[in-house]
Each structure stands twice: as structure tokens, then as C-alpha cells.
Amino acid sequence: MSFTRESTSEPLATTPATRIAVACFYLAAIVAFTGVLGVLLGSVPDIGERLGVDAEAYWNNRLQAALLLGVFGLAFGVLVNLIGAYLAGSRNPARQAAGRIVLLIAVLPHLASIVSLLAYTPEDWTHTITHVIAVALIAVGLVILRRRSAVN
């Protein structure tokens, strides 16, 4: 029985295609994070101002809490995206596969945001731009990885 510890600092895959794909994944996380900051710094403070002083405090607080929960969900999606990007860039095929699955899961909050924004407030379609870009970057990265694995 051996108790030796394997190296935990595994280098990233070094093929150009993998580096481009992983860059797409990290860029998607950055774009998504800018969307989170936009909601956090723009919409959250704006709700109270829009409702005004006459609004019932309870409903004002409920709307603020719901919006903050949504922001935290999107921030968690960014974290999932970062984990998927890290795993997808691994040299270990099992970690790469896990990274691709994690990245597919990271797309779900973006798709939910796109659909809900367009369904409930289509005039705010510009708020979907960061989500659309993030989904597109993840999709491009996954296609690159898929084509690379099909070639190998």
C-alpha cells in the first residue's frame, strides 16, 4: 500500500486549439461577471428609487431581495464557468470531460436570463447582450474542443 501523493499542480493542456478554447471559457466568465456587476450596481439600487417613498416597504424589500438572489445566482454561474474552464484546460482526459459538462451547466443561468428578460421585458433586450456573448464564447470553446478531440 502506497501513501504517496500525486502532484496537484497539473499543467494545462498546451495545444493551441485547447488554449484558444480555454481562453474563450475564461473570457465568457469575465463577460458574465460584467453583467453581474451591471445588475448589482445598476438595477439593485434603481429598484428603490423607481418605487419611490410611497411604496410599501415590505414589497420594496421583497423586490430587492429577489433581485439580489438573482444576482447571486448569476455570480454562482460565473464561478461554475471558471471551474469548468479550469477543468477543460487540464491534460487529464477525465477532467477535460468533466469541464465540458460543467461548462454546459454554466450555460443554463445565461439561457434562463435571456428567455426571462425577453419574455417579461422585451424592451430591455440590451440586458441580454452579456448573456448571449457568454453563451456564444462557451459554445465556440466547446466546438473547438470537440473538433480537436475528433481529430485526435
Is the CB of residue 114 less than 8 Å from the CB of residue 79? no
82 in any annotated domain: yes
In a domain, 84, yes or no: yes
Q: What is the pLDDT of residues 12-28, one digit of tens each?
A: 566 899 999 999 999 99
State pLDDT tens for residues 75-104.
999 999 999 999 999 989 999 999 999 999
The verdict on residue 8 lying in a domain is: no
35 located within any domain? yes
pLDDT, tens digit, for every residue of 95-138?
999 999 999 999 999 999 999 999 999 998 999 999 999 999 99
How many domains does the chain divide into? 1
The reply to whether 41 falls in a domain is yes
Identify the domain containing residue 107 by its residue range: 16-151
Q: Compute the distance between CA of residue 2 and CA of residue 129 in angstroms, rounded to an integer.
A: 52
Query: Is 77 part of any domain?
Result: yes
Contact predicate 138/24, CB 8 Å: yes
Q: Note the pTM of the prediction, 2 decimals.
A: 0.83
- Residue at 138 is within a domain: yes
